[in-house]
Structure 1
């Protein structure tokens, strides 16, 4: 598995992150097989969140793998906090309590990366800074990042937080590529030119923050998977054509499209199917040409100005 550096820190991570949001749908033996299969592929970066399955996903993960010090040192664990029932909460108290819960469920003394899950309108960045300092000094968290945040929100945090923001987890796929499209359609009078995120793609590249695309196979907001969907016939035809050229699956090409971008992204794969996981990992070996990348982009309905 090819690796990249996460943000500005000297943490080498695989280009594929394994999302564990659906792990509570597996039996313990199934979860064990899945985790071991991921490790064998070199995909040893596992993405969690305290709300996934109400915490059950983290518990199932730790129990399935038989978490111990030897196993722990072979994997990179990331989790997220900040979402509560009916609200978002970046208060110092909530962040600290959330991390303690995450560590207990994962049966570990530390997590490698903590992300703030969704922007809290009532964020007090001074409190976030205090929480980060306490978590870092105690050894409970080694690296910090955000999720679903735009540049000004990150800059507000950075005014107070001394730790580098190493990652930003954002929705991005071939069919949900507005952060790419608005950069192509600069100064154009069309919907694709609308900047909905403050040019977050360019911001992350300028500030050496790793973008972690979530829902890389989804269209809309969890409306469905575009692969094999009759809603995207032209796109699937093009993906299948390129997949045949490389002798890989359409899953591989969908992830290879994201990895081809020079921003050095780390897609988060949410499948619990071992076959699809392996197909996703194969994308690490594929380097699409510029022509192929744009052919897929246009086939998704994106029009070049």
Structure 2
């Protein structure tokens, strides 16, 4: 599989990452098969969070691969913290304690990439900086990033941080494109013209910050999967049209559409189905034509000005 540089770091990561949120629902044996299959496909990037299964997903992941130094060096592990029961928490103590918990559950000495999961309205950047300095200097975290943050929230953090923020995990799919819509409807009065994210797409490109699309098969906010959904006959017909052309599946084309964007995004896919992961991995071998990308975008219900 193709690899990209993750943000401004020296990390070479697979252009598709495996999200491990659902791993807590698998047996150790099934989890092992999923992870081994991912590695065989060239996927070396595994995304976690302390929230997933209340930590169980991280535990099963480590048990499934019998974590040891020889296995560890083959993969890039990312995890996140900040979402608690009914509130968000970027306090120094919580960040450090969360990382310590993830290290224990993952049975590793270091985290490759650590993200702040969702913006904390009570964030104190100086306190985040103290936590990051401690984690970086102790060798427990090598790189840092954020998730679901807009440009000004990132700039606020960067004012105090001594480390670069290399990634931002954001919701995006063919059927969820607000970060693209606003850029195509500049100076228009229509709904798509509203800038809801502060121009995060262009900001990320300007600052060499990798966008990691999450829920790349969902429409709305966890409203469901759009592939083979009777609500979206036109977009499924169009996906099938290009799937036939490239001799792949609709699932493959949906990811290829994200990969075609020059921002060099890294979709995070959460499937625990081995065959579906193989379909997804084929997207890294496809480069849609410009007119095909726009054709899919329009068919998904978007009007060009």
What TM-score results when the alignment is normalised by the length of structure 1?
0.99
> How many residues end up aligned between the 2 structures?
305
Map of 1:64 onto structure 2: 64
Deviation of the 1:10 alpha carbon = 1.1
Deviation of the 1:44 alpha carbon = 1.2
Map of 1:179 onto structure 2: 179
Cα deviation per residue 1:251-270 (whole Å; 9 max; x = unaligned)?
Answer: 11000000000000000001
Deviation of the 1:113 alpha carbon = 0.1
Distance in 2 separating the partners of 1:160 and 1:304: 40
Deviation of the 1:162 alpha carbon = 1.4
Cα deviation per residue 1:12-47 (whole Å; 9 max; x = unaligned)?
Answer: 111001000000111111000000000000101000
Map of 1:151 onto structure 2: 151
Map of 2:211 onto structure 1: 211
| Structure-to-structure mapping, 1:119-268, within 5 angstroms | 119-268=119-268
Map of 1:92 onto structure 2: 92
Distance in 2 separating the partners of 1:187 and 1:25: 47
Distance in 1 separating the partners of 2:197 and 2:50: 25
Map of 1:297 onto structure 2: 297
Map of 2:52 onto structure 1: 52
Deviation of the 1:245 alpha carbon = 0.2
Map of 1:286 onto structure 2: 286
Map of 1:24 onto structure 2: 24
| Structure-to-structure mapping, 1:5-44, within 5 angstroms | 5-44=5-44
Q: Secondary structure at the match of 1:162?
A: coil
Distance in 2 separating the partners of 1:29 and 1:93: 35
Distance in 2 separating the partners of 1:298 and 1:277: 27
Cα deviation per residue 1:54-80 (whole Å; 9 max; x = unaligned)?
Answer: 000000000011001110011100000
Distance in 2 separating the partners of 1:190 and 1:274: 42
Distance in 2 separating the partners of 1:153 and 1:28: 39
Q: Secondary structure at the match of 1:87?
A: coil
Ranges of 4+ aligned residues in structure 1 off by more than 4 Å: none
Distance in 2 separating the partners of 1:93 and 1:25: 29
Q: Secondary structure at the match of 1:22?
A: helix
What TM-score results when the alignment is normalised by the length of structure 2?
0.99
Distance in 2 separating the partners of 1:207 and 1:275: 36
Map of 1:271 onto structure 2: 271
Distance in 2 separating the partners of 1:3 and 1:78: 16
Q: Secondary structure at the match of 2:126?
A: helix
Deviation of the 1:230 alpha carbon = 1.0
Does structure 1 residue 105 correspond to structure 2 residue 105? yes
Deviation of the 1:176 alpha carbon = 0.5
Q: What 5-or-longer segments of structure 1 have no aligned partner?
A: none
Distance in 2 separating the partners of 1:162 and 1:240: 47
Q: What 5-or-longer segments of structure 2 have no aligned partner?
A: none
Distance in 2 separating the partners of 1:121 and 1:128: 13
Q: Secondary structure at the match of 1:86?
A: coil
Distance in 2 separating the partners of 1:108 and 1:280: 28
Q: Secondary structure at the match of 1:222?
A: coil
